[in-house]
Amino acid sequence: MIPNAEELAKAYAVTRTATQRTPLLESDALATASGAARVFIKAESLQHAGSFKIRGAYWRLTRLSEEERGRGVVAYSSGNFAQGLAAAGRAQGVPVTIVMPVDAPETKRRATEGYGARVVLSDHGARPREEAASELAQEIAARDGLVLLHPFDDPAIVAGQAGAGLETLEQLADRGAAAELVLCPVGGGGLIGGVSLAFHHAHPRTRIIAVEPEGYDSMGASLAGGEARRVTGSRPTICDALQATQPGAAPFDAARTAGVVGITVTDAAVRRALRFAFEKLKLVLEPSGAIALAALLERGVDPAGKVVVVFVTGGNIAPETFMNYLAETA
pLDDT value for 1: 78
Q: What is the mean pLDDT of the chain?
A: 96
Task: Say what the pTM is.
Answer: 0.95
Q: What is the SS3 assignment for 67?
A: helix
Cross-strand partners of 122: 101
230-239 pLDDT, tens digit each: 998 778 999 9
User: Where are the domain boundaries for CATH 3.40.50.1100 in the chain?
Assistant: 5-52+154-328, 53-148
- Third-level CATH fold of 53-148: Rossmann fold (3.40.50)
Kind plus residue range of the DSSP H or E element containing 122: strand 118-122
Residue 130 has pLDDT above 90, yes or no: no
Kind plus residue range of the DSSP H or E element containing 211: strand 207-213
13-42 pLDDT, tens digit each: 999 999 999 999 999 999 999 999 999 999
Task: Tell how strand 118-122 and strand 147-148 pair up.
Answer: unpaired
Residue 131 has pLDDT above 90, yes or no: no
Kind plus residue range of the DSSP H or E element containing 261: strand 261-265
In degrees, to the nearest 5, what angle opens at C-alpha 267 toward C-alphas 281 and 35?
Answer: 45
Residue 210 has pLDDT above 90, yes or no: yes
Section 126-147 average pLDDT: 92
If pLDDT is split at 50, 70 and 90, which confidence band does 147 have?
very high
Task: Tell how strand 147-148 and strand 181-185 pair up.
Answer: unpaired
The H-assigned helical ranges of the chain are 5-15, 28-34, 53-62, 66-71, 80-92, 106-114, 129-144, 155-174, 190-202, 218-225, 249-257, 267-276, 287-297, 319-328
261-265 β-sheet, strand order: 24-26, 38-43, 307-312, 181-185, 207-213, 261-265
* 5-52+154-328 CATH pick, 1.10.10.60, 3.40.50.1100, 3.40.50.20, 3.40.30.10: 3.40.50.1100
